[in-house]
């Protein structure tokens, strides 16, 4: 005889015995019911105007699961570690050696007679030692570059290129020559020399450290102007290895300018002004990477100038027809090799145009 929960005919064949329900493994506890998206209306609610038998419950707003929270924390820790290691890496920064300040010497060369002049600057060039000089940057040529023991060909070329850029910006740019902005020169210097450079222009002094004319060529714009922008240039560049971490480039160039008085008309006579610059540049590996240079020595001979003229801030050339008292016992030729040793020299007659 079957139990109270069994069918009258007994338990069907193949069905689980012992009165076990086949859905006994499904437990409809309170949390399951509360989580259901659909909820049946009660009998009282169904007696009202509700047409459907069930209603949809709003979804439960659950916070982040524990696993998601742990994942977010791990990502935040990894990100913070990456930033920390980027700011404070375990490798020590390379030691930055102090840059040597620029030592400069500017020697005026006084003419022995009246300065030759002509209304045609081309005629002056033709009859001067600069007749075969090239025009502008074309006169600044590279040597046959060779790698050194510790620097590659490309690094040597980079040093020569930066030195040439400095020569062009500091001695061939018309804006710089006529007393204009000097930023194009400043950006080519190693940052450790910028204070000395800036002080040279804010408080110029003929002390061998702070003369603007030691950094660049510039004329007093209230006295002279360029009569011809085709400046004649000739000279050499040479690169050597100072030590395993430093390249040194030496430049020796003569630049010849045609000048005339400021505001003069086209018929005014022009004259030639010659500047010979011997510069020494140094480059560490950071300078090579940043296309900057350390200018450590500047030796300048310039004329025709009056020996008594202060050439610290601007160069004040003697123009066509002007004369000055000779400043030395013998003539100094800026076109010749060798260096003048006097504080003021005499401009050799061979350096002047033969008209």
Residue 276, pLDDT > 60, answer: yes
More confident residue, 353 or 26: 353
Average pLDDT over residues 41-62: 59
SS3 content of the chain, % helix, strand, coil (to 5): 30, 25, 45
56-60, 83-87, 321-325, range with greatest mean pLDDT: 321-325
Place of tokens 């040529």: 141
Q: How confident is the model at residue 3 (pLDDT cuts 50, 70, 90)?
A: low
State pLDDT tens for residues 135-167: 999 999 999 888 889 999 999 999 999 999 999
- Residue % of the chain over a pLDDT of 70: 73
What's phi and psi for 16, nearest 5 deg? -60, 135
Evaluate if residue 11 carries a pLDDT over 80: no
Q: Is the pLDDT of residue 72 over 70?
A: yes
Q: Which residues contact 23 (CB under 8 A, 6 or more apart)?
A: none
Q: What is the DSSP string of 226-282?
A: EEEEEEEEEEEEEEEEEETTEEEEEEEEEEEEEEEETT--TTSPBEEEEEEEEEEEE
- Cα–Cα separations (whole angstroms), residue 27 to 18, 22, 23, 31, 34: 19, 12, 8, 10, 13
Please tell me the predicted confidence (pLDDT) of residue 59.
57
Tokens representing 129 are 């030692």
- Kindly tell me if the per-residue pLDDT of 91 is higher than 90: no
Phi, psi of 142, deg, nearest 5: -90, 150
Handedness of CA 199, 201, 205, 207 (dihedral sign): positive
Q: How far is CA 32 from the centre of its chain?
A: 69
Is residue 171 exposed (0-12), middle (13-18) or buried (19+ Cβ within 10 Å)?
Answer: buried
**What mean pLDDT do residues 315-331 have?**
76
Mean pLDDT value across residues 269-289: 97
Looking at per-residue pLDDT, the higher value among 331 and 84 belongs to 84
Q: Which residues pair with 256 in a beta bridge?
A: 232, 274
Say yes or no to pLDDT of 341 above 50. Answer: no
User: What are the counts of helices (DSSP H) followed by strands (DSSP E) for the chain?
Assistant: 10, 10
What is the structure's pLDDT at 266?
78
Mean pLDDT over the full length of the chain: 83
Best CA proximity match to 258, nearest among 294, 276, 232, 285: 232
* 326, 328, 334, 338 alpha-carbon torsion, rounded to 10°: 170
Alpha-helical runs (H) found in the chain:
30-35, 43-46, 66-87, 121-126, 153-171, 174-177, 183-186, 194-202, 212-215, 285-290
Counting residues of the chain whose pLDDT is more than 90, the rounded percentage is 55
**In the predicted structure, residue 173 carries a pLDDT above the cut 70:** yes
- pLDDT, position 271: 97
Average the pLDDT over 48-52 and give the result. 57
Whole-number pLDDT of residue 204: 93
pLDDT winner (highest mean) among 21-25, 63-67, 334-338: 63-67
Three-state SS for 195?
A: helix
Residue 329: the pLDDT is 45
Does residue 311 have a pLDDT over 80?
Answer: no
Q: What is the pLDDT of residue 131?
A: 95
User: How far apart, in whole angstroms, are the C-alpha atoms of residue 246 and residue 241?
Assistant: 6
Q: Is residue 237 within 8 Å of residue 142, measured between CB atoms?
A: yes
pLDDT of the residue at 340: 45
Residue 65 has pLDDT above 60, yes or no: yes
Comparison of pLDDT for 3 and 256, the residue scoring more: 256
Does the pLDDT of residue 235 top 50, yes or no?
A: yes
Query: Alpha-carbon Rg of the chain, whole angstroms?
Result: 44
Q: Angle at CA 72, nearest 5°, toward 71 and 78? A: 90
Lowest average pLDDT, out of 74-88, 95-109, 113-127, goes to 74-88
The total number of residues shown for the chain amounts to 355
The Cα 136–Cα 255 span in angstroms is: 9
Among candidate residues 297, 247, 9, 290, the one with its CA nearest the CA of residue 146: 247
């Amino acid at each position: 005889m079957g139990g109270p929960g069994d069918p009258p005919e007994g338990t069907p064949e193949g069905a689980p015995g012992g009165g076990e329900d086949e859905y006994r493994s499904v437990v409809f506890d309170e949390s399951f019911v509360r989580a259901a998206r659909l909820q049946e209306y009660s009998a009282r609610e169904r007696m009202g105007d509700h047409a459907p038998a069930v209603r949809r419950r709003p979804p439960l707003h659950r916070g982040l699961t524990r696993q998601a929270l742990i994942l977010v924390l791990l990502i935040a820790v990894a990100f913070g570690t990456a930033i920390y290691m980027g700011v404070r890496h375990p490798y020590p920064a390379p030691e930055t050696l102090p840059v040597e300040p620029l030592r400069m010497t500017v020697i005026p060369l006084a003419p022995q007679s009246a300065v030759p002049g002509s209304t045609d600057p081309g005629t002056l060039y033709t009859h001067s030692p600069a007749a075969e000089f090239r025009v502008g940057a074309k006169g600044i040529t590279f040597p046959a570059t060779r790698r050194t023991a510790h620097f590659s060909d490309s690094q040597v070329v980079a040093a020569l290129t930066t030195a040439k850029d400095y020569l062009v910006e500091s001695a061939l740019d018309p804006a710089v020559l006529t007393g204009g902005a000097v930023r194009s020169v400043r950006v080519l210097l190693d940052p450790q020399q910028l204070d000395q450079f800036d002080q040279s222009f804010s408080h110029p002094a003929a002390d061998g450290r702070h003369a603007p004319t030691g950094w660049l060529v510039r004329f007093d714009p209230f006295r002279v102007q360029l009569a011809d922008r085709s400046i004649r240039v000739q000279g050499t560049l040479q690169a050597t290895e100072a030590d395993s971490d430093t390249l040194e480039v030496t430049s020796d160039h003569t630049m010849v300018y045609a000048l005339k008085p400021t505001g003069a008309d086209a018929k005014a006579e022009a004259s030639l002004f010659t500047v010979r610059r011997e510069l020494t540049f140094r480059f560490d590996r950071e300078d090579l990477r940043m296309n900057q240079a350390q200018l450590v020595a500047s030796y300048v001979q310039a004329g025709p100038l009056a020996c008594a003229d202060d050439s610290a801030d601007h160069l004040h050339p003697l123009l066509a027809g002007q004369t000055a008292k000779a400043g030395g016992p013998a003539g100094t030729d800026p076109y010749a090799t060798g260096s003048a040793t006097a504080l003021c020299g005499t401009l050799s007659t061979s350096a002047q145009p033969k008209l």
